[in-house]
Structure 1
Amino acid sequence: MEALQECDSVILAGGRARRMGGADKPGLEAGGATLLERVAAAAPGRVVVVGPPRERPHAVYVREDPPGSGPVPALRAGAAEVRAPWTAVLAGDMPFLRAEHVTALRAAAEGRHGAVMVDAEGREQWLLGVWRTDRLRAGLEAYPGASLRGLFAPSGSGCIRPFDYARVRTPEGAELAAFDCDTPEELARARELLRDGTD
């Protein structure tokens, strides 16, 4: 089997975390590491973090302009730093993400514009996907909106061409791959599961 082309990573880690009381969500710890460190450990290639600079993890740090202006401007800033033909787009708050989950997405994306993980309810997790870098940049350049769903899967007859992507269900036994920590309750659950060795 031919080797897959290289993939870099863009981790979005600069949101306002309103449901977390405005806390520095990617910097919160779970299982002995910050949420951002855990995601970065699973991220392939050159890691670009869109968010405030930190000592850890080692990465290229950039900010959207203005900071806090949303996921689409953040993704534009991050994608500009990618060098590989493929880009993994990841949230900075997924403590159970593993490298093999991203690899599965990269394999599923072959021959298409990309691939995105879907949860048990069949909802696309737009911050857990792998995309062809040139197509991602072209889409971002043409897109005037603010939502990732509108970027990747626009509805109606607008000028944005939809991405051709594979929908990948979380693997059996890895249902927590797309679990993110948006609330104090979700963070507490992640910490409890990691204490129990569920990782």
Structure 2
Amino acid sequence: MAGAPEAPDAAEAADGFDAVVLAGGRARRFGGGDKPGAEVGGRPLITWVAGAAARAGRLVVVGPPRTGLPDGATFVREDPPGAGPVPALRTGLPLARAPWLALLAADLPFLRPAHLDRLLDEARRAGAPGAVLVDGDGREQWLAGCWRTGALRAALDGYGGASLRGLLGPLGPVRVALAGDVRPPWYDCDTPEALARAEDLAARPGP
């Protein structure tokens, strides 16, 4: 007897998304250490980001394999390792299969699933190719955004530069500002000083 048809997974759903996390940079401003493995609030930065993308159909990490991430996570490396965010995206994007993709840095300790939901909702509502968080000064945070996978592929096909801003800016994403957060979701930990401040923010009372 034939069983009931399987429900489509998140990657096959019309509004599903995958996530590509860039975790293989050289972390020069961080002193060359393992920035994704640095801890805030008792957890490595990259596990906070993986948690924010928990509803993704597929989690692709462009960086060295590491423990503590979901069992289904896929690890790939750009060639050469540490070549920059555009080569890293070129390496990770072919593994995405969902119609939407969250493109994320590995050092965002305050990013949560609700923030990705907001980005996706804003992009869909506007009929835009994507949506990106902006910081308190109104600057786009190109590694905290959600995009139509097809739009990213098309943009990469015709792009010879090395800047994420140069790649993503011309797509005209929705700019999403989330005011009033004690712990801003766009906050990244590029330096040891930023990491120390993140630890302080994590300890403060707030929602």
TM-score, normalised via structure 1 length: 0.90
Does the CA-based 8 Å contact 1:170-1:178 persist in structure 2? no
Query: CA offsets, 1:10-30, max 9 Å, x none?
Result: 111111111111001001111
Identity %: 56
- Structure 1 segment 117-136 matched on structure 2, within 5 A: 117-136=133-152
What is aligned with 1:170?
A: 178
What is the alpha-carbon distance in structure 2 between the residues aligned to residue 169 and residue 175 of structure 1?
13
What is the alpha-carbon distance in structure 1 between the residues aligned to residue 141 and residue 182 of structure 2?
15
What is aligned with 1:19?
A: 29
**Secondary structure in structure 1 of the residue aligned to 2:102:** strand
Structure 1 outlier segments of 4+, above 4 Å = none
Unpaired segments ≥5 residues, structure 1 = 154-161
What is aligned with 1:179?
A: 187
- Structure 1 segment 32-47 matched on structure 2, within 5 A: 32-43=42-53, 44-45=55-56, 46-47=58-59
Does the CA-based 8 Å contact 2:110-2:183 persist in structure 1? no
Question: What is the one-letter code of the residue matched to 1:149?
Answer: R
What is aligned with 2:93?
A: 79
What is the alpha-carbon distance in structure 2 between the residues aligned to residue 198 and residue 92 of structure 1?
23
Size of the alignment, in residue pairs? 189
> Does 1:6 pair with 2:6?
no
Rg (Cα) greater in structure:
2
TM-score, normalised via structure 2 length: 0.87
Q: In 2 relative to 1, CA 96–198 (structure 1 residues): closer, same or farther, beyond 3 Å? A: farther
Q: In 2 relative to 1, CA 83–72 (structure 1 residues): closer, same or farther, beyond 3 Å? A: same
Unpaired segments ≥5 residues, structure 2 = 1-12
Does the CA-based 8 Å contact 2:23-2:61 persist in structure 1? yes
What is aligned with 1:113?
A: 129
Does the CA-based 8 Å contact 2:40-2:195 persist in structure 1? yes
Q: In 2 relative to 1, CA 197–62 (structure 1 residues): closer, same or farther, beyond 3 Å? A: farther
What is the alpha-carbon distance in structure 2 between the residues aligned to residue 171 and residue 120 of structure 1?
8
The two structures, once aligned, show a CA RMSD in angstroms of 1.6
